[in-house]
Amino acid sequence: MHRGNKSQARSGKSSRPPGLSGREIGMYYKNLARQRKNSDTKNEPKIKLSCDVTVPPGVIMRVNEYMDQFKLAREAGQKHFDENFQQQFRHMLNVNFEAFIEETKKQNKDLNLQNRSLDAHLQDKQKERLQNADFRARFEDRLKLPTMRHATDVIDAVDKNQVVLIVGSTGCGKTTQVPQLLLDDCIEKGIGTTCRIVCTQPRRISAITVAERVSYERAEPLGHSVGYQIRLESRKPRERASITYCTTGVLLQQLQSDPLLHNVSVLLLDEIHERSIETDMLMALLKIILPHRPSLKVILMSATVREEDFCNYFNRCPMLRIEGVMHPVEVLYLEDVLAMTGYQFDCGNNKRSQPRLDQSEHRNMIEPYIRQVRSRYDNNVLEQLRVPHSEGCEDIDFIANLIYYICNKKSDGAILVFMPGLNKISQLHSTLKNPRSPLGQRWRDHLLIFPLHSMLPSAEQQSVFKRAPNGKRKVIISTIIAETSVTIDDVVYVINTGRTKVTDYDIETNIQSLEECWVTHANTQQRKGRAGRVQPGVCYNLFSRAREALMSEVPTPEILRCKLETIILSLKVLHIDDTYAMFQTMIDAPAQRTVSTAINLLKRIEALDINGNLTPLGMHLAKLPIDPQVGKMILISALFRCLDPITSVAAALSYKNPFYTPLGQERRVDEAKRRMAQKMYSDHLMIHNTICNYRESVGEHRDRDFCYNNFLSHTTLQQLERMKSQFAEFLCNYKFLTSSNCLDQSSNINSDKIPLIRAIIGGGLYPNMAHLRKARQVKNRVRAIHNMTTDDGRRVNFHPSSVNSGETGFDSNYFVYYQRQKSTDLYLLDATMVFPMALIIFGDGVDSGVIDNRHYLSVAKTYYFKCSPETVSVVLNLRSNLGLLLLEKALHPAPIEENSDASKLIKAIELLLSIDDKMGDDYEIMSDEIDNI
Ligand code: CDP
Ligand code: MG
């Protein structure tokens, strides 16, 4: 075989052996590239110097002046660290897990909660309560629940065992009744004050609604014997003889200060069948805690999904089954619904929305099925089944039509619709509220519609449980949340679109994504069950029997399909250093490589030091409810006072981007995005601009038009604003901000300094970097071809939906990104152009050296930038000062005061970044190494 050498390959395609066909040519170059790569790794790694980042002497002088002022002030020793945090932090470094729990054991040795006079008082109150008419009426209702019929079994089992697993069909009263049974039993026995019950819920909304329900059943206001605690919001009950419903996240946080749960006498882990990463981890932690706390009772509660797994995990603990009385539920599939309603899909391809289901996959599935059932359904139904968007929730009008059909033909009873996420929920909501069809207009006023989603504000949630008044029909449009964790009694009709949102993680590319996909048999089974609670019901599955045959049995546990950075940080704050070993003890252990990838990332962003120990920064990041990379970005934005733009970016990265793309309108959406991007070459700054424009439109009462014209989702934008406020509240709680308002002027002094903001985005998304070698406009000038690689050497492209995809005239060839996606090619879903200086200032592994008599600064042993020796020294100096400042701020959280000495450092950084912005044309574009294949 012909072996091309480098210079031949670079000089042109002439070196290619003649007579190769299309595919062979591709293979030839692929082999060539592989050979080249191998020979590169064999020899010394070759350093190629990139563009020159020399800082002019005048600027260096001023930067040095600023730094001197900063240093002088530090040496004057005016700093006062936050004693509390510092102590916590020292403790963190010095104490391992065993020592940590021994210490708390000692502290709680003589803990005795019992108070006999209070016990007697509680006993009396309990008797008195039996005279209360409200209580008695509600108690009568409670007695109808299967759990109450097993009351003595439950109390006995808990009495005799440390761990009990309760399995019962959804709605049988586990969540609301079990804690009450145990509390009331203690009170009656005169030991109420020793009883503190905590019950974890997977979601905020269920913690609140259940707590409200239970205090209603007990005929007392929330905050007496029953309360809840969720992130940033709580109504705590009394200290003793109480039940607290909290989210799993809150319990994990409590373990940081009370690792053996000395403040809890009974812990209920609810909804463990969902296999969320947090309940999996809590179960593993409990196995450590239990031997140290013989008096702690643990009750695991699960719907009937693979319950044997939990029983085995806890050494075959006793299992109590509570069967509910279920009425029969008739199950219909898409083909039956089509036959029944006669609905015709609109096959014009103008208004179908994302995501488009794979057409050929659909054909392969449906054609054999159609042949099977040809005799049973009429031709029109079979034709409709062939339409790819007939399944799921692609056609909102179809779902609305089915709702009208039920209203028209079926007896009373609420309708529960399962949708994948907030956007689909709001689409159906608005279709039902503002119907275009006469049929819809006829039913509009008969419907009482409730959206149900964990992100919706928590006010007024209780009304979804009330029965609809006469003449009205309740329609609940919900995510998976109504599947097991929220029970609404009067549901008779379930519409199961079969779709849900699931995170997925690709270990090869280290990419995590949130995608809509088909549910599993287990989900469908639970959803069906929701229809038969009060009377025989009907479940309408909006997918064919053929689709059902392809569905998996049970969902994959979350820990096997997500990134582990966040969970590792939370283990580290619990003093669990050997995270590898800890993961091995979980029901399902993630792959070693996923763990090491996560640990490496945490090291690179300096949340962990080189030994894998938590840094002060890492300790803060562990407390923020978001991805640590994004967390670092908002922390820096608080210190640097450019909160609003960066929280916009962070919210969009943690939730979703507010644009939607109707099929066939891609180009118009791209235009809208480009307008918003204002030539900033950044998908992230584009989001910030969009939110600013949106606010303006709200101020002028033209927000509906604004959203419509720019393909923006109103719901998503509102949600982004809500998340921004949450971030600000958090940062304010931890004293990184003085105001909890994102728009507060003092938090936004630097918010219009685009180079600084660009650099902070770069610092946050680092080490996700990409280098563009060559960009070429395609003839039609809409798209461009980019020759680009990420720092791990993979070829990537801007995703067509990125504002950078059509651009060529970048001022810098370096980019940071948050997500890569692999389809036909590897794509950067979002990217921001950054200048080398930003990577040099905010990146890690920055080094300097000399090659061929030229000085350079390097980033992560990947990019090497030429520069003067003076630049090397000023930049390294600045970096070490920035490191000190960040450490100091982590120990003593506070925004950097204007005109303070620390602010001089920001000035110095700004100055360095500002020359970058002007360097533009001086950039030397590297000759491309690889020919376009
Ligand atoms: O936990 P499990 O699914 O076994 O049942 P649960 O949540 O304790 O619900 C028992 C009963 O309480 C159901 O019939 C619900 O309708 C009712 N409930 C309610 O009315 N309001 C709530 N916020 C929660 C439950
Ligand atoms: Mg429950």
DSSP secondary structure letters along 400-426? HHHHHHHHHHS-S-EEEEE-SSHHHHH
Find out whether the beta carbon of 180 lies less than 6 Å from any atom of ligand 1.
no
418: number of Cβ within 10 Å: 32
User: Which of 176, 245, 273, 466 should be mutated for ligand 1, with most atoms under 8 A from CB?
Assistant: 176
Asked whether residue 487 is domain-assigned, the answer is yes
Q: Are residues 233 and 346 in the same domain?
A: no
656 CA distance to ligand 2 middle (Å): 29
Q: Which atom of ligand 1 is nearest to the CA of 270?
A: 1
Q: Are residues 367 and 269 in the same domain?
A: no
> What DSSP letter does each residue of 108-124 carry, written as one string?
TTT-----HHHHHHHHH
Find out whether the beta carbon of 169 lies less than 6 Å from any atom of ligand 1.
no
Helix intervals (H) in 133-258 = 133-142, 146-149, 151-160, 174-188, 204-217, 248-255
Find out whether the beta carbon of 210 lies less than 6 Å from any atom of ligand 1.
yes
The most distant pair of C-alpha atoms in the chain lies apart, rounded to whole Å, by 99
Query: Using CA atoms, how far apart are residues 859 and 844, in angstroms rounded to an integer?
Result: 7
Q: Are residues 279 and 333 in the same domain?
A: no
Find out whether the beta carbon of 142 lies less than 6 Å from any atom of ligand 1.
no
User: Which of 213, 325, 463 should be mutated for ligand 1, with most atoms under 8 A from CB?
Assistant: 213
Find out whether the beta carbon of 171 lies less than 6 Å from any atom of ligand 1.
yes
Would you mind telling me the total number of residues written for the chain in this entry? 933
Which ligand has its closest atom nearest to the C-alpha of 461?
1
Q: Are residues 334 and 308 in the same domain?
A: no
Nearest CA residue ID for atom 8, ligand 1: 173
Q: How many CA atoms lie within 13 A of 689 on its CB side?
A: 18
DSSP letter for 464, please: G
Q: Are residues 343 and 477 in the same domain?
A: yes
For residue 348, give the nearest of 283, 313, 395, 404 by alpha carbon. Answer: 395
Asked whether residue 369 is domain-assigned, the answer is yes
Q: Last residue of a domain, which of 709, 743, 763? A: 763
Find out whether the beta carbon of 213 lies less than 6 Å from any atom of ligand 1.
yes
464: number of Cβ within 10 Å: 19
Query: Using CA atoms, how far apart are residues 225 and 180, in angstroms rounded to an integer?
Result: 10
Where do we find the tokens 């003067």?
Answer: 868
Find out whether the beta carbon of 489 lies less than 6 Å from any atom of ligand 1.
yes
Which ligand has its closest atom nearest to the C-alpha of 324?
1
Asked whether residue 61 is domain-assigned, the answer is no
Find out whether the beta carbon of 170 lies less than 6 Å from any atom of ligand 1.
yes
Query: Using CA atoms, how far apart are residues 283 and 274, in angstroms rounded to an integer?
Result: 13
State CA 844 to chain mean position distance: 25
Q: What element of type H or E holds 531?
A: none
Asked whether residue 920 is domain-assigned, the answer is no
185 CA distance to ligand 2 middle (Å): 21
Query: Where in the sequence is the domain holding 657, given as residue range(s)?
Result: 628-763
- Supply 223's token pair: 């905050």
Find out whether the beta carbon of 138 lies less than 6 Å from any atom of ligand 1.
no
Which ligand has its closest atom nearest to the C-alpha of 179?
1
Q: Which atom of ligand 1 is nearest to the CA of 209?
A: 23
Nearest CA residue ID for atom 13, ligand 1: 171
Indicate the SS3 state at residue 465.
helix
Indicate the SS3 state at residue 357.
coil
Residues 6+ apart with CB under 8 A from 548: 333, 521, 524, 541
- Supply 855's token pair: 């000085």
Q: Which atom of ligand 1 is nearest to the CA of 484?
A: 3
pTM, rounded to two decimals: 0.81
Q: Are residues 405 and 546 in the same domain?
A: yes
What Å distances lie between residue 879 and 372, 520, 705, 747, 849, CA to CA? 70, 51, 47, 23, 16
Where do we find the tokens 């990420």?
Answer: 790
Phi and psi dihedrals of 311, rounded to 5? -60, -45
Residues 6+ apart with CB under 8 A from 506: 512, 513, 822
Which ligand has its closest atom nearest to the C-alpha of 489?
1
175 CA distance to ligand 2 middle (Å): 4
Nearest CA residue ID for atom 20, ligand 1: 465
State CA 835 to chain mean position distance: 29
Number of domain units in the chain:
3
- Supply 816's token pair: 């940071």
Indicate the SS3 state at residue 497.
coil
Cα 397–Cα 400–Cα 403 angle in degrees, nearest 5: 155
For residue 862, give the nearest of 198, 9, 48, 36 by alpha carbon. Answer: 48
Nearest CA residue ID for atom 21, ligand 1: 213
487 CA distance to ligand 1 middle (Å): 5
Query: Using CA atoms, how far apart are residues 720 and 715, in angstroms rounded to an integer?
Result: 9
Indicate the SS3 state at residue 776.
strand
Peptide bond into 645 cis (omega under 30): no
Task: Mark residue 800 as left, alpha or beta (left: phi above 0; alpha: psi -120 to 50; beta: remaining).
Answer: alpha
553 CA distance to ligand 2 middle (Å): 22
Which ligand has its closest atom nearest to the C-alpha of 170?
1
Dihedral Cα 839, 842, 843, 844, nearest 10 deg: 150
* Under 8 Å between Cβ of 572 and 579: yes
The pLDDT score that the predictor gives to residue 367 is: 95
Query: Using CA atoms, how far apart are residues 140 and 678, in angstroms rounded to an integer?
Result: 65
Residues 6+ apart with CB under 8 A from 78: none
CATH number of the domain that 308 lies in? 3.40.50.300
Indicate the SS3 state at residue 53.
coil
Q: Are residues 687 and 744 in the same domain?
A: yes
Q: Which atom of ligand 1 is nearest to the CA of 168?
A: 4
Find out whether the beta carbon of 175 lies less than 6 Å from any atom of ligand 1.
yes
328 CA distance to ligand 1 middle (Å): 20
Find out whether the beta carbon of 866 lies less than 6 Å from any atom of ligand 1.
no
For residue 599, give the nearest of 579, 617, 615 by alpha carbon. Answer: 579
Q: Are residues 377 and 503 in the same domain?
A: yes
Q: Which atom of ligand 1 is nearest to the CA of 206?
A: 23
Q: Are residues 336 and 254 in the same domain?
A: no
* Under 8 Å between Cβ of 534 and 561: no
149: number of Cβ within 10 Å: 15
Intervals of the chain under pLDDT 70: 1-23, 26, 33-46, 73-86, 92, 232, 348-358, 455-461, 509, 663-664, 780-782, 823-824, 916-933
139 CA distance to ligand 2 middle (Å): 18
For residue 744, give the nearest of 724, 758, 762, 714 by alpha carbon. Answer: 724
Q: Which residues are near ligand 2, the ion (C-beta closer than 5 Å)?
A: 174-175
Phi and psi dihedrals of 266, rounded to 5? -130, 125
Q: Which atom of ligand 1 is nearest to the CA of 210?
A: 23
The pLDDT score that the predictor gives to residue 932 is: 31
Asked whether residue 810 is domain-assigned, the answer is no
Nearest CA residue ID for atom 24, ligand 1: 210
Nearest CA residue ID for atom 15, ligand 1: 487
Sheet holding 329-332, edge to edge: 329-332, 537-541, 491-496, 414-418, 473-478, 447-452
- Supply 38's token pair: 């191998």
Query: Using CA atoms, how far apart are residues 86 and 77, in angstroms rounded to an integer?
Result: 17
486 CA distance to ligand 1 middle (Å): 7
Q: Are residues 174 and 265 in the same domain?
A: yes
Asked whether residue 693 is domain-assigned, the answer is yes
User: Which of 175, 302, 487 should be mutated for ligand 1, with most atoms under 8 A from CB?
Assistant: 487
Find out whether the beta carbon of 526 lies less than 6 Å from any atom of ligand 1.
no
Q: Last residue of a domain, which of 763, 783, 809? A: 763
Q: Are residues 397 and 530 in the same domain?
A: yes
410 CA distance to ligand 2 middle (Å): 29
Query: Using CA atoms, how far apart are residues 518 and 557, in angstroms rounded to an integer?
Result: 15
Q: Which atom of ligand 1 is nearest to the CA of 533?
A: 14
Nearest CA residue ID for atom 16, ligand 1: 489
* Under 8 Å between Cβ of 172 and 147: yes
Q: Are residues 300 and 335 in the same domain?
A: no
Asked whether residue 915 is domain-assigned, the answer is no
Cα 411–Cα 414–Cα 417 angle in degrees, nearest 5: 120
Find out whether the beta carbon of 150 lies less than 6 Å from any atom of ligand 1.
no
Find out whether the beta carbon of 895 lies less than 6 Å from any atom of ligand 1.
no
The pLDDT score that the predictor gives to residue 929 is: 30
> What DSSP letter does each residue of 688-732 carry, written as one string?
HHHHHHHHHHHHTT-HHHHHHHTTB-HHHHHHHHHHHHHHHHHHH
Asked whether residue 833 is domain-assigned, the answer is no
The pLDDT score that the predictor gives to residue 706 is: 97
The pLDDT score that the predictor gives to residue 350 is: 42
DSSP letter for 274, please: G
Kindly give the pairing relationship between strand 233-235 and strand 226-230.
Answer: antiparallel
Q: What element of type H or E holds 95?
A: none
Nearest CA residue ID for atom 17, ligand 1: 487
Find out whether the beta carbon of 179 lies less than 6 Å from any atom of ligand 1.
no
Where do we find the tokens 């609604």?
Answer: 209
- Supply 808's token pair: 């060529």
Buried b (16+ CB within 10 A) or exposed e, 236-261: ebeebbbbbbbbbbbbbbbbbeebbb
The pLDDT score that the predictor gives to residue 455 is: 61
Q: Last residue of a domain, which of 532, 558, 584? A: 558
